[in-house]
Amino acid sequence: MAVRTQQAKKKTKKEFIPNIVVFACNWCSYAGADNAGTNRMQHSPHFRVIRTMCSGRVTPGFVLKAFKLGADGVLVSGCHFGDCHYIFGNYKAVEQFEKTKGLVKTLGLDLKRVRLEWVSAAEGVRWANLIDEFVGQIAELGPSPLNHKPKYG
């Protein structure tokens, strides 16, 4: 674990500190993140979690708003198939994410900047690994070209 933390630190320090927004569903992924925290697993701190009731709630608008407000990468995380608290919410998340990817691509952003993952409440280790990996990936890509504050509100 120590090695992983160092790697994450090294990568982010060398380049820039990415802004990463994570949408995590209440029932699995958020609990998974909690699990990583309560088990004191070291992982990169460069992400902000927004809790949604289900990954199926995350429409393209959420992800695009994150990019508009200066995110460099967006991760959407939900329960594994069959585990969704609302039964088919994560299938809906897949549908929405397909649209999101289409829009992100048309906007000219690298598709590596968005990601859809499944993390269960028990998978604290997987969460920590995933975050480190995603932060590293975004650090390599550099700042988002859309990271631009409009002059007007």
Partner 1 sequence: MNTAVEQLKKNRAFLCLECGKCTAVCPISKVNNAYSPRRLLAQGLFYGAEDIASDHLLWSCLTCLLCSQRCPVDVKYSDYMRDVRAVAHNMGHEGNASHGGALHYIMEMAASPKLKQNRTEWVTKDLKVKQKGDTLYFAGCLPYYEELFAKDFSFSPVSIAVDTVKILNHIGIEPVVLDNERCCGHDLYWLGRLGQFDELAKLNLKDFEQAGVKKVITSCPECAVALRQLYPERVGTGGPKVQHIAEVLAENKARLKLGEVTREVAFQDPCRLGRFMGVYDPPREVLSMIPGVTVSEMAHNRKGAICCGTTNWMNCDSCSKQIQKSRFDEARAAGAGTLVTACPKCQIHFRCAQCGEPEEKNGLELADFVNIVASALKS
Give me the residues that bind partner 1 (CB under 8 A), please.
59-62, 64-65, 67-68, 98-99, 102-103, 105-108, 145-146, 148, 150-153
Distance of closest approach, residue 46 Cβ to ligand FES, in angstroms: 24
Element containing residue 27 per DSSP (H, E): none
What are the backbone angles phi and psi of residue 116, rounded to the nearest 5°? -120, 125
User: 117, 130 in Cβ contact below 8 A?
Assistant: yes
Contacts 24+ apart (CB under 8 A), 92-98: 92/56, 93/54, 93/55, 93/56, 93/58, 96/56, 96/58, 96/59, 96/60, 97/58
From the list ligand FES, partner 1, none, which binds 73 (C-beta under 5 to 8 Å, kind-based)?
A: none
- Cβ-based nearer residue to ligand FES, 27 or 127: 27
Element containing residue 49 per DSSP (H, E): strand 48-52
Q: Where are the alpha helices (DSSP H) in the chain?
A: 2-14, 29-38, 60-68, 89-106, 124-141
Distance of closest approach, residue 144 Cβ to ligand FES, in angstroms: 26
Distance of closest approach, residue 136 Cβ to partner 1, in angstroms: 23
User: Among candidates 29, 42, 61, which has minimal Cα distance to 1?
Assistant: 42
Contact footprint for ligand FES (CB under 6 A): 25, 27-28, 54-56, 78-79, 84-86, 89-90
Distance of closest approach, residue 60 Cβ to partner 1, in angstroms: 4
- Cβ-based nearer residue to ligand FES, 68 or 80: 80
From the list partner 1, ligand FES, none, which binds 55 (C-beta under 5 to 8 Å, kind-based)?
A: ligand FES
From the list partner 1, ligand FES, none, which binds 27 (C-beta under 5 to 8 Å, kind-based)?
A: ligand FES
